[in-house]
Each structure stands twice: as C-alpha cells, then as structure tokens.
Structure 1
Amino acid sequence: MKAILQRLVRDQRGTSAVEMGLICALIVLAMLTALQGVANQTKETWNTVSSKSGEAIAGATAA
C-alpha cells in the first residue's frame, strides 16, 4: 500500500490536465462575472427606456 501511495505522489502525468482545468474554470468564472455585469446594465437601460416611454405616453394623453 505504501508503494502505491508513493508512486501516486510521484506521478506527474495528470498534472498538466489538472492545471489546464483550473485555468479554464477561472476563465469561465471571469466570463460569468462579466456577463452578469452586462446583464445588470442592460436591465437597467431597458427599465429606464420603459419608464421614459411611459412618462411620454402619459404626458401625450394628458394634453
């Protein structure tokens, strides 16, 4: 059992795959964070458009 564990600790074959997986995971997290920021800004923009349109329509019908 000790020999198996020592061999497993010395094994370097999967190291690159693990590193690449971690890098990809960090890139995906950064992309999702940026996308969330864009989504919030877009939602705020459309809410402003809706509000201004409603005000314009209410002003036009009141006159």
Structure 2
Amino acid sequence: MDFYKDESGITVIEIVLILVVLIGLVIIFKKQLTSLIQNILSKITSQSNSI
C-alpha cells in the first residue's frame, strides 16, 4: 500500500495539528477573547432591556 500517495480525506494527524493550533491561539489570545465576549454580552443585555 502506498500511504504517502493516498490523499483521500483528512488524516488524524492533520486534525490533531489543527486542534493544537486552535488551542494555542485560544491560550495566546484568552484575555482579549474574554474581554470581547464580555463586551458583546453586556451590549446585548443593555439593548434587550431597552426593548
């Protein structure tokens, strides 16, 4: 079998690498992401109270 020439679908290694990159980005930008989400939620609640 030619495993190197088989390019059908996403392999487990590619999925693991994508997850590692995404987790790394979340860890790096955790502070910015939490402040952004808090700002969005506070705007939603303040605007929903005005309805």
TM-score of the two chains, using structure 1 as the length reference: 0.41
Higher helix share: 1
Higher relative contact order (CA 8 A, sep 6+): 2
Larger Rg: 1
TM-score of the two chains, using structure 2 as the length reference: 0.49
